Each structure stands twice: as C-alpha cells, then as structure tokens.
Structure 1
Amino acid sequence: MKNKYLLFVLLFIIGTSSYALKTDASKPVEITADHATFDQKNMVSVFTGNVVITQGTLVVHSEKGTASQDKEGYQTIQLFGSPVTFSQLNDDGEKTEGQGNNFQYTTKTNLAVLSGRARVKKGDNLVIGDKLTYNTQSQIFTANSTDANGVTTTKSGRVTVILQPNQKAQDGNKQSGINLQ
C-alpha cells in the first residue's frame, strides 16, 4: 500500500540528526493521534490531536501532522504544534532534543526545517533561532532569527549558539576545546 510508504517519511526526522541511534531506523514507526485521515487518491495522510510518533528512542509530539507524496515521488512531512517537540538518543550516548512551532522535511530538497521559536540541544550544546535548517544530504546546518529568537517582537535578527568545551580537551588531551557534534 503506497500510503503506508508515505508514513515512513516520518523516518526523516531521524535524518535531521546524523548522530541518531543507528538501531532506531530498524524499529517500527508508531503513530497515535485523536484522528487520522488517509487520502489514497491525493497521497496525503493527516493526523490531528495529540499526535505522538515513536521509533526506537525517537519520540515526537505535535498537534497535527501531514505526510504527502507528489506525482514525481517526492515526499513531504509537516508537523505543527505549540510546540512540536522531539527527543532521541544518539550513538554517542547523548540525547538530542528540539522544539519549534513547525517542522517540515521534503525529499526533493533534502531540507529539514524547524521554525517558530526553534531550538535544538545535543548534550549541553544548544542552538536557538526562529528557523533552524538542516540539509540531510550536504549535512549543512543553518540558524536564522527574525525576531529575538522567537521570544519577543524585537527585530534583532540574532541566533544563539552555546557550545560546551570538549571534555577530553579539559582532561589534558591534545584535542580542540570545542565539541560541535
């Protein structure tokens, strides 16, 4: 069933973190919601009300989620909430957590976009902005802000990045002092 294939586009949430627990990808995706609609003709699935998506250690909460596929086979997932939240254990043992009012991923552009008071935290490292974008193919991450990190209406255009020193560097190892991953 093609519509079942559409639901697997939800796996791309995992792709936004290249350090996600590798075994999660082999786990089944479970979606629970108050209501679901499957439009076979137009290749669109919609989940509404207390949407919870789980796959292995990945847990996503949203108010609404849509998954679609165009005629060319490109897939798009959109999640909406106040906020959409996710958490997942990484292979390195740290947890990645994030939130924003909207999440979108499309296979056509390989872009995952978390927007509206967006923040992603891995371990003690944190990135905050109005729009966080990750290209799953090029592995390029960008952060933009249109209004003081989504907190006020001040047009500051600023993002916040907090990077913790690398523990190995603090312990006297010759590695660099910043851990970006």
Structure 2
Amino acid sequence: MILVLITISTKCISLNKEDKKIILINSNKQSINMTDNSLTFTGKVAIHYNFINIQADFVKISYQQGKNKYKIIEGYGNPITFKKLKKNNELITGQCLKFHYETNDNKILLIGKAYIKKSNNYIQADYINYLINKNRIQAYSDNGKQVITKIILHS
C-alpha cells in the first residue's frame, strides 16, 4: 500500500496560508495531473480530510483555481463508505456506489444504494443529497422504489 501525505500549497491550487489543509491518502496507485489540478487514486483508497474519512475503490480530487477555490471529491466503490465527525462529536456514517462531495458548499451526493446513519436514525434511497452545514437531507429513489427512513423520537 502506498502512503501519500499531500499538503496543499499556494503554488499548487491558490490557497492562502489560512486555507491550508492536509489530505492523508492510502491507495494502491496514484496519478497527479498538475495541468488540470486533479489527483486520482485507485485500489483500496482511504482518504482522511477535514474530519471526513472515505473508503473507496477509486477517488478523483479536482480543484479549480481562483477566488472560490472550488474542490470536488468523487469516488466509486462497491460500496464506498464514509464517516463524518461533526464539531459536536456527532458521528455520521454512510455508504453508496458513487460519491460526489463539493467542499465549498459542504454538500455530499450519494448515488446508488445510498444510506446515511446518524445516531440510531437512518435514511436509505437510490439518491441522497446531504447538505452538511444546513443539516438537511433530501432523498429519492428511481422507478417507483420508496425511500426508507427510521427515526427515533425522544419524548
């Protein structure tokens, strides 16, 4: 397994010192394309970034330079799993077949056999759009399948 430690620098993707983050990535194979600012990882990919852990078969991280410093993390797996530790130490876990994470908007789109669990509550659907900062989840399924939700109400 190859262990890669990447420190995002101002030269690579136009981040200032305050925005510097560390991404820790384990994978069997990696490819870095400095022309289009993308990183591609394949084979037993494990990513640790900004309180989120992602396990997948394939992950691509893309950056757009400029004022908004847009980052996208996309992955595929059978399944992909993720864990997000919120500031209040609340753990959110999930899985799906395809993962799309927009870091600027703090939005995660789970596609295919999507599942998110928080405490003892969960939601399961073909597609789940999770807006992290707004604590909002939108879920829907294809071809007449229903979305399944389990909620424990406290009285």
| TM tier relative to shorter chain | 0.7 to 0.9
More strand by share: 2
Residue identity in the other structure for 2:136: I
Label 1:91 to 1:78 Cα distance change in 2 as closer, same or farther (>3 A): same
What per-residue deviation string (whole Å, max 9, x for no partner) do you get for residues 80-115 of structure 1? 101100124455555321100011023576532011
Alignment of 1:156 with 2:150, yes or no, is: no
What per-residue deviation string (whole Å, max 9, x for no partner) do you get for residues 4-61 of structure 1? 659xxxxxxxxxxxxxxxxxxxx95311000111100111110110001125864321
Residue identity in the other structure for 1:32: N
Contact 1:31 1:53 in 2 (8 A): yes
Query: Distance in 1 between the 2:104 and 2:84 partners?
Result: 25
Alignment of 1:51 with 2:39, yes or no, is: no
For 2:24, which of 21, 30, 37 is the aligned residue?
Answer: 30
- How do 1:125-136 and structure 2 match up within 5 A? 125-136=121-132
Q: Provide the alpha-carbon RMSD of the alignment.
A: 2.9
- How do 1:4-19 and structure 2 match up within 5 A? none
Tell me the residue number matched to 1:70.
64
| TM-score of the aligned structures, taking structure 2 as reference length | 0.74
- Structure 1: any 5+ residue segments left out of the alignment? 7-26, 147-154, 170-181
**Stretch moving more, 121-130 or 131-140:** 131-140
Contact 1:3 1:45 in 2 (8 A): no
Query: Distance in 2 between the 1:107 and 1:94 partners?
Result: 19
- Rg comparison, structure with higher value: 1
Regions of 4+ moved over 6 Å: none
Query: Distance in 2 between the 1:38 and 1:2 partners?
Result: 16
Residue identity in the other structure for 1:162: K
Question: What displacement does 1:135 show?
Answer: 2.9
Alignment of 1:80 with 2:76, yes or no, is: yes
Query: Distance in 2 between the 1:92 and 1:126 partners?
Result: 19
Tell me the residue number matched to 2:3.
none
Question: What displacement does 1:3 show?
Answer: 8.0
Tell me the residue number matched to 1:172.
none
Label 1:43 to 1:161 Cα distance change in 2 as closer, same or farther (>3 A): same
**Identity of paired residues, percent?**
24
Residue identity in the other structure for 1:145: S
For 1:112, which of 108, 111, 115 is the aligned residue?
Answer: 108
